[in-house]
């Protein structure tokens, strides 16, 4: 047997089980083979050849960023401004987007920032093909989604499917690829229906922006409102929802009617949802990636995190891109969700554990990475060796969990993806001659 590596830390948060003081995770190849206290694990090692790493911090599953566009990492000037709502943000975004960009360089920097903050897997949305290889090149885990937008039913009928298939196939694997129908207001009705069918036929996952802005609701229900007016003025009045006076349904009801909600789909944002919408999402097994800092930058309302928690919806955490967020650090959004949950009246003492689970196991579930033979998002024998280590002042595992959820960590000490150390703060310092 080749050597196993024992990662020992003063606190280990397996997520799959209770926090451990003086814990250890044993890695062989790309898998975790044992998790326990350091004493337990040592007793079980027998005469295996062992490499040992001791970490001065808390060892956790790698974070899962369940909604991002690493391609827009070089568009941070839009995300660092504040906006009055979706319309003004979109104008600022488009003005910068239309300039010349090195999309691959931008996405590669986003990958590096992700690894540096403890993220091992991403739901990455690619809009321009040049950005498509960054996640693959770096060996980051997750799903790379090809973004589909702007199609009318008529254009789609004239070869749309074949075009999207070619675009999807041009993305390098691993990781697995998926389809991201951008949003209900940027795609015509039959296109959304056919993309859901196409994803099922190909056996790939889908990821949709939904219930992000207040505009969407009037647009979907009655084909009216500011967004509908703007589209009509811009020559997009051809969309069936605008022609037909809306669907009479909520955003979630409309998507469900098109066959677009199911366990292989996850949504981003999910802000403007009521109890019926949330119930529908639970019934369909649809996870929502919450991105509260992006919502705040754009000038939207916060997501109803307390309701999602109380009602038991599957949730995950995303940063969105630097074009609408101050950082690609998932823990910064966890900190914001903690603040929001308390402000919205969630008082249960499981909040730390549930929010940290959302950023790890919840993200893995949203991306379909939680399945055998090597599930991600938890520390357990047989799981994928996607690990992160964070510096904390806390000395007990419970305090370390509270510290991560309430204060975050600006940088990880290390990030391992499939057993490979892709970020190590100490070697980064040595290389920089610090």
Footprint of Zn ion on this chain (CB under 5 A)?
Answer: 320
Closer residue to Zn ion (CB): 217 or 320: 320
Task: Give CA torsion, residues 309, 303, 179, 249, to 10 deg.
Answer: 100
Q: 140, 147, 79, 77: which is closest to 113 by C-alpha?
A: 140
Q: Which two tokens stand for residue 277?
A: 């919408």
Beta carbon nearer to Zn ion, 72 or 356: 72
Longest dimension (CA), the chain: 73
Q: How far is the CB of 125 from Zn ion (least distance, A)?
A: 6
Task: Please say which residue, 124 or 320, places its beta carbon nearer to Zn ion.
Answer: 320
Tally Cβ neighbours within 10 Å of residue 330.
30
Nearer to Zn ion, 267 or 358 (CB): 267
Beta strands in 314-355 (DSSP E): 315-317
The DSSP letter of residue 290 is: E
34 vs 320, which CB is nearer to Zn ion? 320
C-beta of 430: minimal distance to Zn ion in Å? 36
Q: Residues near 68 by Cβ (< 8 Å), separated by ≥ 6?
A: 110, 114, 122, 123, 124, 125, 318, 319, 320, 321, 328
* CB of residue 11 to Zn ion, shortest distance in Å: 33
Q: Are 385 and 109 in contact (CB under 8 A)?
A: no
- Report the residue number, 35 or 290, with the smaller CB distance to Zn ion: 290
Contact criterion met (CB below 8 Å) for 426 and 413: yes
Q: What is the distance between the alpha carbons of residues 174 and 172, in angstroms, rounded to a whole number?
A: 6
CB of 232 closer than 8 Å to CB of 195: no
**Residue 332 CB, nearest distance to Zn ion (Å)?**
16
**CB 320, min distance to Zn ion, A:** 5
Q: Which of 223, 225, 255 is nearest to 239 (CA)?
A: 223
| CB contact at 8 A, 388 and 118 | yes
Closest separation between CB of residue 206 and Zn ion, Å? 14
Rg (CA), the chain: 22
CB closer to Zn ion out of 145 and 390: 145
In the complex with Zn ion, the residue whose CB is nearer, 141 or 294, is: 294
- CB-based closest residue to Zn ion: 320
Nearest C-alpha neighbor of 11 from the set 405, 394, 428, 406 = 394
């Amino acid at each position: 047997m080749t050597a196993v590596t024992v990662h020992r830390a003063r606190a280990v948060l397996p997520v799959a089980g209770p926090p451990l003081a003086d814990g250890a995770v044993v890695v062989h190849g790309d898998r975790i083979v044992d998790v326990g206290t350091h004493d337990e694990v040592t007793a079980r090692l027998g005469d295996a050849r062992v490499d040992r790493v001791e970490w001065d911090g808390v060892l956790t599953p790698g974070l899962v960023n369940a909604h991002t566009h690493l391609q827009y990492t070089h568009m941070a000037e839009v995300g660092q401004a504040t906006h009055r709502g979706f319309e003004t943000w979109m104008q600022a975004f488009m003005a910068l987007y239309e300039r010349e960009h090195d999309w691959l360089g931008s996405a590669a920097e986003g990958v590096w920032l992700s690894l540096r903050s403890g993220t091992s897997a991403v739901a990455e949305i690619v809009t321009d093909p040049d950005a498509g290889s960054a996640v693959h090149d770096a060996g980051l885990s997750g799903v790379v989604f090809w973004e589909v937008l702007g199609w009318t039913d008529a254009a789609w009928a004239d070869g749309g499917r074949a075009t999207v298939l070619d675009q999807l196939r041009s993305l390098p694997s691993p990781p697995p690829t998926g389809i991201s129908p951008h949003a209900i207001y940027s795609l015509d009705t039959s296109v959304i229906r056919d993309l859901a069918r196409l994803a099922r036929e190909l056996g790939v996952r889908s990821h949709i922006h939904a219930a992000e802005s207040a505009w969407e609701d009037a647009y979907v229900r009655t084909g009216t409102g500011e967004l509908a007016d703007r589209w009509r003025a811009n020559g997009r009045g051809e969309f069936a929802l605008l022609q037909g006076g809306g669907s009479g349904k909520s955003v979630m009801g409309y998507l469900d009617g098109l066959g677009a909600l199911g366990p292989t789909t996850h949504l981003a944002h999910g802000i403007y949802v009521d109890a019926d919408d949330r119930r529908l999402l639970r019934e369909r097994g649809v996870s929502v990636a919450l991105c509260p800092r992006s919502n705040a930058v754009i000038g939207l309302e916060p997501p109803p995190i307390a309701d999602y928690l109380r009602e038991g919806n599957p949730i995950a955490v995303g940063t969105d891109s630097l074009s609408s967020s101050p950082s690609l650090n998932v823990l910064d959004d966890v900190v914001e969700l903690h603040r929001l949950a308390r402000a919205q009246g969630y008082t249960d003492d499981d909040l730390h554990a549930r929010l940290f689970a959302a950023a790890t196991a919840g993200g893995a579930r949203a991306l379909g990475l939680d399945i055998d033979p090597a599930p991600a998002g938890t520390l357990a024998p047989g799981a994928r060796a996607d690990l992160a280590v964070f510096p904390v002042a806390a000395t007990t595992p419970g305090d370390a969990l509270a510290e991560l959820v309430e204060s975050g960590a600006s940088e990880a000490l290390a990030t391992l993806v499939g057993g490979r150390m892709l970020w190590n703060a100490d070697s980064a310092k040595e290389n920089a001659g610090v």
